[in-house]
Amino acid sequence: MTAEPIVVWSEAITEYDFGPSHPLTPRRFGPGIELMRGVGATRFLEPPIATDEELRRLHQARYIRQVRSFSDDAWQPAAMGIGTADCPSFHGMHEASARVAGGSITSVRQVLAGAADHVFDPGGGLHHAMADRASGFCIYNDVALAVAEARDAGHRVLYVDLDVHHGDGTQALFWDDPQVLTLSIHETGRSLFPGTGDLDEAGGPDARGSAVNVPLEAYTGDTGWLAALDTVLPALAETFQPTFLVTQHGCDSHAFDPLAHLRITTRAYARATRLLDQVAHTWCEGRWVATGGGGYDAYRVVPRSWALVWLAQAHREIPDETPLAWRERWTDEATRFGQSPLPVQLLDPPDLAARERPEVVDRARRTAERALEQTTRLLEG
Ligand SMILES: [Zn+2]
Ligand SMILES: [Zn+2]
């Protein structure tokens, strides 16, 4: 099938909003969605609000009740990870969070129904949420719910998490599930939230080898990050033989991002998204749902990262430049938030990446090799 990929999005997604001083800002959707349209996206689908029954597939009933309680009355003491600095409560937070979840679930249903091979849900990717706890800006784990939807339709699901932070919530929710393999490539927990994601986290007793972690040191840069991904991803897909691909495209690994230190550029994102497209077609008959994720440079980074996901899913060439009209539209706002000038090139200049030292690139590749060896041994053993 060659139908245009579907983008799951509506203005209501911007209601997922922790307030003006929180780093995860819905302001990213304005320039983000408009740049996707600018590079050619025309096919959009509104995300529905997930039902409690759908949320209960992975979240505990008492947690959903707690989120609903905060949703009605935001002024209560912190509980179950909500009301904290990372996840402040806000009026309507249940509906807003359940809509993000509904977007990711519906993305999988679109693929299962044959409406498109590839679907992108830029508002999704809230990978830190646990069964009974909010964490790291995430209330309901929409992307894990997407994985569960595909799994319960009988698929073997490969989950690839590119966010700079370890995909701890998704890993925990499928820890002992041999039908789901979670791969997270991230900045090491020694220097970054949530502190987990070490090599030795490999899955529960009934699913040894089904969690794969590639922790990278700060300032790894494009070459090391891509070497790690190239080492682990195609080989892992061959060993696990997935039939459905779900991916998380947090772009907080970027050199401009204020919260982390991997110093990746959009050049590496472009290569990564093409690699994922190949995995989808080689193993999954094209079945691929991508989500957004972290990303706190809302103007210079997030829109280009999303556009590159869409371009890979649409099998289109990457244009050299961002549209002039897009830059003109968002320059004032970007300047107001200290994120200008808006990039002219879709792909960053190579010198934006970390000054890459060969030994760092080597260590990244070796970490990926160790992760792969361990997983292969556990899956085949
Ligand atoms: Zn494709
Ligand atoms: Zn992140």
Q: What H or E segment, with its residue span, contains residue 119? A: strand 118-121
- pLDDT exceeds 90 at position 3: no
Residue 222 has what pLDDT?
96
Compute, in angstroms, the gap from residue 186 CA to the centroid of ligand 2.
9
Q: 341 preceded by cis ω (within 30°)?
A: yes
- Residues 294 and 252 sit within 8 Å (Cβ to Cβ): yes
Half-sphere exposure of 163 (CA within 13 A, CB side): 32
Ligand nearest to the CA of 186: 2
CA of 164 to the centre of ligand 2 (A): 5
Do 275 and 233 meet the contact criterion of CB atoms below 8 Å apart? yes
Residue 298 Cα to ligand 2 midpoint, Å, equals 13
Q: pLDDT band at 2, cuts 50/70/90?
A: low
Ligand nearest the Cα of residue 184 is 2
Q: Ligand 2 centre from 1 Cα, in Å?
A: 32
Tokens of 298: 């809302």
**Residue 22 pLDDT level (bands cut at 50, 70, 90):** very high
Euclidean distance between CA atoms 132 and 139, whole angstroms: 10
The 288-291 sheet, strands edge to edge = 44-45, 6-8, 118-121, 288-291, 244-248, 157-161, 180-187, 211-216
Torsion of CA 78, 139, 307, 314, to 10 degrees: 180
What local confidence, expressed as pLDDT, does residue 381 receive?
75
Q: What torsion do the CA atoms of 83, 86, 91, 95 make, to the nearest 10 degrees?
A: -120
Ligand located closest to 252 CA: 2
Q: Is 128 a catalytic residue?
A: yes
By CB neighbour count within 10 A (0-12 exposed, 13-18 middle, 19+ buried), where does 303 fall? buried
Domains and CATH numbers, the chain: 6-380 (3.40.800.20)
Rounded mean pLDDT of 2-12?
93
- Say yes or no to pLDDT of 335 above 90: yes
Interatomic CA distance for residues 186 and 352, integer angstroms: 19
Neighbours of 11 (CB within 10 A): 11
214 CA to centre of ligand 2 in angstroms? 15
d(CA 19, CA 29): 15
Q: Is a pLDDT exceeding 80 seen at residue 353?
A: no
| Model pLDDT, residue 33 | 98
Rounded average pLDDT over 303-328:
98
| Cα angle 271-276-277, degrees, rounded to a multiple of 5 | 95
Bridge partners (DSSP) listed for residue 184:
161, 213
Q: CA-CA distance, 33 to 39, in Å (whole number)?
A: 10
State the ligand closest to the CA atom of 292. 2
Give the predicted TM-score (pTM) of the model: 0.98
Has residue 1 got a pLDDT over 60? Answer: no
Q: Which of 68, 95, 66 has its CA nearest to residue 79?
A: 66
What's the gap in Å between 188 CA and the centre of ligand 2? 12
Which numbered ligand comes closest to the C-alpha of 314? 1
Alpha carbon of 168 to ligand 2 centroid (Å): 11
Q: Which two tokens stand for residue 241?
A: 């033989």
Contact 158, 178 (CB under 8 A): no
What pLDDT score was predicted for residue 328?
A: 98
The widest CA-to-CA distance across the chain, in whole angstroms, is 57
- Average pLDDT value for the chain: 97
Residue 50 CA to ligand 2 centre (angstroms): 23
- Reduced to 3 states (helix: H, G, I; strand: E, B; else coil), residue 145 is helix
Ligand 1 center to residue 137 CA distance, Å? Answer: 30
Q: Which of 59, 118, 127, 128 is catalytic?
A: 128
Residues 6+ apart with CB under 8 A from 250: 125, 127, 161, 162, 163, 164, 165, 292, 293, 294, 295
Whether pLDDT at 95 is above 70: yes
Residue 289 has pLDDT above 90, yes or no: yes
Task: Enumerate helices (H) and strands (E) in the chain, giving the number of each.
Answer: 11, 8
